[in-house]
Amino acid sequence: MKRIFFVCMMMAIAVSAAAMSRSKVRNHARFLTDRMAYELDLTPMQYDDCYEVNYDFIYHVAPYMDDVVYGYHDAIEIYYTYLDYRNDDMRYILSAFQYARFMASEYFYSPIYSTGRDWAFRIYTIYSNRSFFYFDAPSIFKTYRGGHDRLHFGTGFYNNRYAKIPHHTGSVRIQGSQNYDGRRKADFGTNLKPRTGTTYNNYSNPNSPNRTTDRRYQDNSGNHNSPAINNRTRQSGAATTQPAQTTPRTSAPTGSRGSRTSNPASSASRSQRSASTGSSSSTSSSTRGSGTVRSGRR
């Protein structure tokens, strides 16, 4: 039984891998670049470079797309990381005018979306005939297999190839921007799931009155005041700390500036303390001499 299950799993993995072979990556990248050349008036050099960028993007995100559609938070983050790399490389290839049109076309700027159970390219909703191309295949269509992506060029392979044309200078990042959540919802809906053992959003602590019962919120600083801090009560809308039990100090009466009310118990205590001054001093000196150090607050 285990052998049959293992064979079925291997077949499923093989089918999943075959679903995005290099041949399919090339075809999707060519179709997307062909329509970019048609709408953005690309030069032959831009045409080949945009193909490379689209190829690298599709090749890198394809293994994560099933998890993206399922809603896994980490896979979505990886997808938008590669999308930001792609759009940044496009910024170096296209002129400012071309890039403005590129950003205005969602099927170019954010080319992949979720259909609910699967993922697809937006460009096919605009151009449905997948067998028709306006232009010949790029000159490196069958020979390019990566090598110009951000894994090899951290600052971008294309950032100095078109130095003579003006480029878009604004931010092109989606991840971390103010419209990130809106972009994610437009691409993949509101579906967002955690991996096993991890919660990303809407954590509900059943012990919310006392956060320290949850290990993730326990204080490990060594602060001996933690019990007092964590058990504060609120009175009249203000947080107050429950003080430790100490001998209260009587406040000075009105009109006797700087004077204190006499307290017999305090006087007796002072007498006892003065009588034992010598022993206390010797004890204190021996303690300091022993090298004992009181641990400080971390």
| Residues present in the chain in total | 298
Return the residue matching tokens 């496009």. 90
Per-residue model confidence as pLDDT tens digits over 88-139? 999 999 999 999 999 999 999 999 999 888 999 999 999 999 999 999 999 9
> Rounded to whole angstroms, how far apart are CA atoms 39 and 105?
10
Helix (H, G, I), strand (E, B), or coil: what is residue 233? Answer: strand
- What is the model's pLDDT at position 41? 94
CB of 180 within 8 A of CB of 172?
A: no
According to DSSP H, which parts of the chain are helical? Answer: 2-18, 22-40, 44-61, 65-70, 73-93, 96-104, 106-109, 123-126, 180-188, 226-230, 264-275, 277-289
- What is the model's pLDDT at position 231? 57
Per-residue model confidence as pLDDT tens digits over 1-30? 434 433 343 343 333 434 479 999 999 999
- What is the model's pLDDT at position 124? 97
pLDDT beneath 70: ranges in the chain: 1-19, 196-298
> Rounded to whole angstroms, how far apart are CA atoms 287 and 102?
76
> Rounded to whole angstroms, how far apart are CA atoms 278 and 286?
13
What is the pTM for the complete model shown? 0.60
